[in-house]
């Protein structure tokens, strides 16, 4: 439930309404009636910061403008310049406007716009009263225009033209309303509260003015608020008085004199259009917006800082843990320093033997010649009579021995000779350390020359 406080200034009287709104209903929780002089005390004691203000401006400017068709975003500027043109004395002002529709005037298509302007001096007088106590004014509604919200809330939108009559202090306010939009506002002074003959006369004259000057004939008169119950006139209206407007159905209020707070209730009514009829000075709206942004920014910064402090705390404890771990390790390392010294010493000693070790490795790298010769002695074909080895040469190369076998084949026939030679080669291939490289033979001389590589690694 959103809570709202609306304040209305009517002559020497200040009315205050506390309302809660939600789910389409507005509940009036409390209403206060204060003297103007008591209002400062009220503000200083009130905890709420935001207020909606309804004011009955003594001096205001309203009219219907006929503007050339323009894009919506330019209308405000057009209305502003038109108000300045029409009221040269009005230098600094705020206004609200409503586009009533389009019509044709003097053969040209025009846009009808109703405006309501108030001098900023009057508005800031109100604002300053709140600002003194660090309160913010959210909207300022003129008494007359805010009532149009109530009329549209109660009567709905229809094509009937109503002349609505309301009371503020001793003044009677008359509004010409169609489709919830205001076409004309007039304030008439009245000697006493309630509806009397003199007021009926004023209403009738206004009806005539609307008919003759504005070319809008009201279909009926709507009496608002206390005028319904305080009707003491013997004269009758020029047009039928259709109804009395008291409260919309969605308002829940348990107040005896609720009719006196109608404008305030209209101000807290839910629904759009509030900002359109508000005459809150733009500079002030910007100022409050700026303040809101700055305050929000400060809050965000503080929240981020708090979160950051939390993170910082975690980081600091982590740093403590790491430092402890590092210190422990340093102590352990210093205790193991002797390991390093002994390693370096031993390494140095070993370094002195490195040439000897390398030398011994190079000696060991040469294949075992004795084993190679033993392997050759194990060849069966060499032991027989079929062939004779004449010479063996063993040369040591890098990692391998190169062995040359020269001999003579003794077998009688060439076929036998070939068989024996093949058997010899087969035997050599069967020894895993031997790898034949070449094996030429000469059939005429019966000589052969076999070259094999021996490696025992």
Partner 1 sequence: MINELLANGRLTRARLYYMMAGLVFVMVAASIILCVKYTDSLAVTVNTLQKVRLNLIHMRDASRTVESALYGIKTVLPPRMLSSTPEEMLLEGLDDLKLRLKDAGITLPNMERKSDEISLPVQIKLGTRDYTDLVNTIGYLQSLQFPFFGITNISLSQGPDKVLCEIKGSLRMPKK
Output the six-digit token pair for 451.
């070259």
Beta strand pairing status for 447-454 and 434-438?
Answer: antiparallel
Q: Give the Cα-Cα-Cα angle 188, 224, 252 (nearest 5 degrees).
A: 145
Among 13, 110, 238, 373, binds partner 1 (CB under 8 A): 373
Among 333, 378, 429, 443, binds partner 1 (CB under 8 A): 333
Nearer to partner 1, 208 or 325 (CB): 325
Q: What residues from 120 to 139 belong to the interface with partner 1 (CB under 8 A)? A: 120-121, 124, 127-128, 131, 134
Residue 456 contacts partner 1 per CB under 8 A: no
Output the six-digit token pair for 356.
């000897």
CB of 264 to partner 1, least distance (A): 25
Stretch binding partner 1 (CB under 8 A), from 57-65, 220-228, 236-244, 285-293: 285-293
Q: What residues from 224 to 243 belong to the interface with partner 1 (CB under 8 A)? A: none
Residue 325 contacts partner 1 per CB under 8 A: yes
Q: What are the C-alpha distances in Å from 123 to residues 61, 130, 148, 172?
A: 14, 11, 21, 22
Instruction: Tell me the C-alpha distance between 164 and 189, whole Å.
Output: 16
Nearer to partner 1, 246 or 404 (CB): 404
* Helical segments of 19-95, H only: 39-45, 72-86
Stretch binding partner 1 (CB under 8 A), from 38-46, 232-240, 281-289, 435-443: 281-289
CB of 9 to partner 1, least distance (A): 17
Question: Which uninterrupted H or E stretch holds 238?
Answer: none
Helix-strand-coil percent breakdown of the chain, rounded to 5?
45, 30, 25
Q: What are the C-alpha distances in Å from 26 to residues 6, 46, 147, 158, 285?
A: 13, 21, 16, 24, 25
CB of 457 to partner 1, least distance (A): 16
Q: What residues from 377 to 436 belong to the interface with partner 1 (CB under 8 A)? A: 377, 388-396
Instruction: Tell me the C-alpha distance between 405 and 292, whole Å.
Output: 107
In 3D space, the residue among 154, 133, 219 whose CA is nearest the CA of residue 183 turns out to be: 219
Q: What residues from 25 to 64 belong to the interface with partner 1 (CB under 8 A)? A: none
Among 33, 252, 276, 316, binds partner 1 (CB under 8 A): 316
Q: How far apart are the first and last CA of the chain?
A: 95
Question: Which uninterrupted H or E stretch holds 37?
Answer: none
Nearer to partner 1, 159 or 385 (CB): 385
Nearer to partner 1, 2 or 316 (CB): 316
Residue 437 contacts partner 1 per CB under 8 A: no
Q: What residues from 84 to 103 belong to the interface with partner 1 (CB under 8 A)? A: 92
Residues touching partner 1, count (CB under 8 A): 72
CB of 100 to partner 1, least distance (A): 31
CB of 449 to partner 1, least distance (A): 14
């Amino acid at each position: 439930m959103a809570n709202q406080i609306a304040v209305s200034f009517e002559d020497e009287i200040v009315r205050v309404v506390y309302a809660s709104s939600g789910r389409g209903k507005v509940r009036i929780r409390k209403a206060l009636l204060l003297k103007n002089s008591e209002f400062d005390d009220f503000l200083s004691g009130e905890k709420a910061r935001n207020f909606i203000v309804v004011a009955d401006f003594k001096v205001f400017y309203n009219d219907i403008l006929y503007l050339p068709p323009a894009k919506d975003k330019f209308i405000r500027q057009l209305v502003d310049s038109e108000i300045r043109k029409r009221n040269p004395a009005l230098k600094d002002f705020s206004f609200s406007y409503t586009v009533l529709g389009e019509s044709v005037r003097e053969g040209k298509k025009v846009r009808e716009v109703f405006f309501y302007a108030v001098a900023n001096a009057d508005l800031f007088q109100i604002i300053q009263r709140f600002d003194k106590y660090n309160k913010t004014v959210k909207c300022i509604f003129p008494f007359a225009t805010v009532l149009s919200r109530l009329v549209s809330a109660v009567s709905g939108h229809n094509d009937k033209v109503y002349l609505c009559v309301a009371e503020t202090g001793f003044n009677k306010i008359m509004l010409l309303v169609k489709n919830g939009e205001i076409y004309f506002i007039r304030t008439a002074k009245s000697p006493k509260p309630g509806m009397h003959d003199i007021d009926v006369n004023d209403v009738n004259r206004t009806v005539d003015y609307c008919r003759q000057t504005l070319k809008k004939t009201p279909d009926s008169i709507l009496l608002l608020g206390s005028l319904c119950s305080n009707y003491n006139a013997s004269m009758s209206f020029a047009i039928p008085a259709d109804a009395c407007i008291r409260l919309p159905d969605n308002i829940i209020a348990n107040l005896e004199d609720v009719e006196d707070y109608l404008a305030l209730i209209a101000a807290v009514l839910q629904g759009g259009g509030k900002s359109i009829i508000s005459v809150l000075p733009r500079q002030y709206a910007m100022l409050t917006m700026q303040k809101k942004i700055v305050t929000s920014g400060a809050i965000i910064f503080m929240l981020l800082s708090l979160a950051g402090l939390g993170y910082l705390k975690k980081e600091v404890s982590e740093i403590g843990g790491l430092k402890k771990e590092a210190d422990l390790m340093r102590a352990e390392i210093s205790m193991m320093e002797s390991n390093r010294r002994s390693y370096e010493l031993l390494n140095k000693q070993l370094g002195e033997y490195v040439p000897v070790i390398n030398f011994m490795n190079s000696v060991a790298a040469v294949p075992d010649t004795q084993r190679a010769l033993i392997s050759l002695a194990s060849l069966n074909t060499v032991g027989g009579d079929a062939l004779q080895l004449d010479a063996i040469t063993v040369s040591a190369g890098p990692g391998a021995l190169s062995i040359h076998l020269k001999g003579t084949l003794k077998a009688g026939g060439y076929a036998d000779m070939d068989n024996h030679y093949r058997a010899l080669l087969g035997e050599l291939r069967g020894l895993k350390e031997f790898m034949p490289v070449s094996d030429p033979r000469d059939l005429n001389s019966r000589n052969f020359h076999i070259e094999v590589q021996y490696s025992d690694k």
